[in-house]
Amino acid sequence: MIDINLIRKDPELVRENIKKKYQDKKLPLVDEVLELDSRRRELQKEGDERRAKRNALSAQIGKLMREKKAEEAAAVKEEVVKNNERIAEIEKESEALAEQLKKDMMSIPNIIADDVPIGKDDSENVERRRFLEAKEKPFEVPYHLDILEKLGGIDIDSARRTSGQGFYYLIGDIARLHSAVLTYARDFMIDKGFTYVIPPFMIRSDVVSGVMSFEEMDGMMYKIEGEDLYLIGTSEHSMIGRFMNTVLDENKLPLTLTSYSPCFRKEKGAHGIEERGIYRIHQFEKQEMIVICKPEESRDWFEKLYNYTVELFVSMNIPVRTLECCSGDLADLKYKSVDVEAWSPRQKKYFEVGSCSNLTDAQARRLGIRYKTEKGNAFAHTLNNTVVAPPRMLIALLENHLNEDGSVNIPEVLQKYMGGKKVILPKA
C-alpha cells in the first residue's frame, strides 16, 4: 500500500506506475481515492467543528440552568440533540468512506523502482548474469520423475490415492537428500548472521491481506473451514506478520531472519507447466530469508539477499543465472524483484528456483510495522528471498549431478548431512 500523500501530491505518477504494470483497469481507482479522501477530510472537519460546538452548547446549558432560564436551556438542549444526530451521521459515513478508501488503496500497486525493465509478463524479464558454465550431458537426461523412480526415491501413485494430484512421498536417500538440502541452507544462512526461526504455519486473514494483494490471496491460499485461519504459502507471511502493529527499536535494525516452513499453495490458474512430477505442487518445504530494515538500507540488502542464493547454488556446483523481473511480472506489493534460475541439462534451459523481492514500505503500511526515530515513528522496509525450495532444488541437483548409469553424485557440501554418503545408486 502506497502513501496516500503521494496520491494527493502526484496522482499522475501513480497513474503512470499503474500503466507500467499493464493494469489500466485500476486507473479509475486514483480518482476514486482522491474523491473519497476529499470527502472524508470534509467530514472530519465538520465533525471536529460540531464536537467543539457540542462542548460549547453543554457549557451554555449549564449556565442557563444556574440562571434558572429553563425554557432557554430546553431550546439549547434540542439544538444539542440535532447536533449529536449529525455527528452520528458523520461518524457512520466516515467509517464507510474509510473502509472503501482502504480497499481502493490496497488495490493500487506499489511504486516500482526506476530501473525495473518495462514488460508485460515474465517472457520480457531481463537476464543479469550467469554463474558457472551451463553444460550439456553427453547422454540423454531423463525426466526428473523417472530419475527419482529409478533411485527408489518417490511414490506419486500412493500420494494421489491419499491426497490427490500435486502431492508425493519422498523415500530413502532422496528423502534424506531433501532434508540435507534444507539443513545445509539453514546453516548457510546462520553463518551469514541470520537468526533461525520456525514460525506458525497458519495465519489469520488480517495478516494475509497485509502481506499480499487480493489477487494473490485468491490464487494461492488455502482457508481452514470454519476458522479465521489460512495455511501459509511461504514462511514470509507469518514471519512478516510477527511484527504487525509494532514499533521496533531503530538500534536493533536491520532484523535478519531465516525461516523454515512447509508451504501450501492452490496454484490456481498455474496448471500446464511441467505437471507430471514435483515441479509445481500443492505442498513443499522451503528455507526463506527475511529482512526488516530502514528505508535507506533496503537497496543494499536486496543485492545481498539474491546473491546469497546464488552463492548457495554455486557451492553445490549447480549453474544459475539471475533475471531482473519486468514491470508486468511484479506482484502488486513489489518494488523490485530478481529471480534465480538453475540450469536444466534435460531441457537445455534455465528454470526458476527462487525469487528475491524488495517491497519497500508496502507491507509495513498494511500491517503497521514502524520503527522509532528521533523525529517520530517511520515505516520500515521489508524484503524476502528464497534460500532454497527443495522440490525444484532437487530437480536441479539431480539433473546436474546425474551420471550415465543413473546414479547421482552428492555435492561435497551436503555429504556430511548424508552420513558421509557420496553417491545415490539406482535401485534394482
Say which DSSP state 161 is in.
H
What confidence score (pLDDT) does residue 23 get? 96
266-290: pLDDT as tens digits: 876 555 434 677 888 889 999 999 9
Q: Are strands 195-197 and 255-264 parallel, antiparallel or unpaired?
A: parallel
Q: Which phi and psi (to 5°) does residue 186 adopt?
A: -60, -50
Measured CA distances, 115 to 145, 206, 305, 332, 358 (Å): 39, 32, 18, 17, 13
Residue 176: in which H helix or E strand, if any? helix 172-191
What confidence score (pLDDT) does residue 73 get? 87
Residue 356: in which H helix or E strand, if any? strand 349-358
Positions of the chain with pLDDT lower than 70, given as ranges: 214, 268-275
What confidence score (pLDDT) does residue 269 get? 53
Helix (H, G, I), strand (E, B) or coil at 205: helix
Instruction: State the burial class of residue 357 (Cβ atoms within 10 Å of its Cβ: 0-12, 13-18, 19+).
Output: buried
CA quadruple 134, 137, 141, 147: dihedral, nearest 10:
-80
Instruction: State the burial class of residue 413 (Cβ atoms within 10 Å of its Cβ: 0-12, 13-18, 19+).
Output: middle
Distance CA(156)–CA(241), nearest Å, equals 34
Whether the CA torsion 414, 418, 421, 427 is positive or negative: it is negative
12-52: pLDDT as tens digits: 999 999 999 999 999 999 999 999 999 999 999 999 999 99
Residue owning grid cell 522440490:
391
What confidence score (pLDDT) does residue 18 get? 97
Say which DSSP state 402 is in.
B
On whether the pTM is more than 0.75, the answer is yes
Beta bridge partners of 370: 247, 379
Distance CA(417)–CA(44), nearest Å, equals 62
What confidence score (pLDDT) does residue 274 get? 45
Give me the amino acid identity at 426.
Answer: P
What confidence score (pLDDT) does residue 137 get? 94
Closest CA to 309 of 253, 377, 357: 357
| Domains of the chain (ranges, CATH numbers) | 4-107 (1.10.287.40), 122-424 (3.30.930.10)
Chain-centroid distance, C-alpha 22: 20
